[in-house]
Amino acid sequence: MSGFQLSAEGVEFVKSELKRYETRLSAVIPCLYRVQKENQGWVSPESVSYLSQLMDIPEAHINEVLSFYTMFNREPVGRHHVQVCCNISCAMNGARELTEKICKELDVKEGEVSKDGKVTVTRVECLGSCGTAPMMQINDRYYENLTSDSALKIIRELK
């Protein structure tokens, strides 16, 4: 059980979420989000065990939720997680070519962490911003109405 632990505020958050819903299981998604945020963007098996003990919910049940949703990362990601939407609207507006360009610019393969640990680029399904396609999400922020120039500019400015 060594390794991951939530911050004091994180623990408070989990406790308040547990009281918020009718069933304890409902609190799993917000708590997993919190863990992901405090664990460099991914949820490790150790942190699932930690959360299981904190929430008094079996590990298998937390893992069911964790493995169901794509917004939880089960492998380490870079400091900047670039998620390019490649669903219909974005794809029709060149999102797939855009992803390739971004990968080339960063010299990283899709879904892998760059050598310096700075970025991970992944293709994702609809992020609900079809009106402003193509678009991408970097960590918690949306970047919309992209062109290859504007996208690459944003990428180059990442620290």
Partner 1 sequence: MLKCKINGKEVEVPEGTSIIEAFKLSGQDIAHYCWHPGLSVAGVCRLCMVEIEGQPKLQIACNTQVQDGMVINNNSETVKDVVRWGLDFHLINHPLDCPICDQAGECGLQDQYMQFGKYTPEMAERKVKKRKVVDLGPTVVLDTERCILCSRCVRFTDEVSKTHELGIFNRGDRSEIGTFKDRPLDNKYSLNTVDICPVGALTSKDFRFRQRVWYLKTAESVCPGCSTGCNVNVYYNEEGLWRVRPRYNAEVNGHWMCDEGRDTYKFVNRKARLLEARVGHKDSWQSEAPGSAAKQAGVKLKEVLESEGPESVALVLTGQYTTEEYEAAIGLFQSELNSTLIYHWVNNPESFEDFDGLLLRGDKNPNTKGLLQALEQAGIDRPWQDLLDRLKAGSIKTLVVAGPENQSVFPDQLEKLEMFKEVENLIWLTAGPVEGLEHRAKPTWQIPLKTYIEKAGSFVNHQGLKQSFQVGTIVVSSALTLAEAVTLLAGQELELSAQDQILQQNRKKNFFTETRGAL
Q: Is the dihedral of CA 154, 79, 41, 39 positive or negative?
A: negative
Helix or strand (DSSP H, E) at 87? none
What is the Cα–Cα distance from 151 to 21, expressed in whole angstroms?
A: 40
What is the number of other CB atoms lying within 10 angstroms of the CB of residue 128?
A: 9
- Which residue among 25, 33, 59, 72 contacts partner 1 (CB under 8 A)? 59
Rounded CA-CA distance 33/21 in Å is 16
Count of chain residues binding partner 1 (CB under 8 A) = 11
To partner 1, the closest distance from the beta carbon of 45 in angstroms equals 6
Task: Confirm or reject binding of residue 25 to partner 1 (CB under 8 A).
Answer: no
Of these, 15, 41, 54, 61, which contacts partner 1 (CB under 8 A)? 61
Q: Is the Cβ–Cβ distance between 123 and 86 less than 8 Å?
A: yes
Smallest distance from partner 1 to CB 121, Å: 22
Cβ proximity to partner 1, 66 vs 77, nearer residue: 66
> Does the protein bind partner 1 through residue 68 (CB under 8 A)?
yes
Q: For residue 2, state whether it binds partner 1 (rule: CB under 8 A).
A: no
Q: How far apart are CA 120 and CA 102, in angstroms?
A: 10
Residues interacting with partner 1, by CB under 8 A?
45, 48, 58-61, 63-64, 67-69
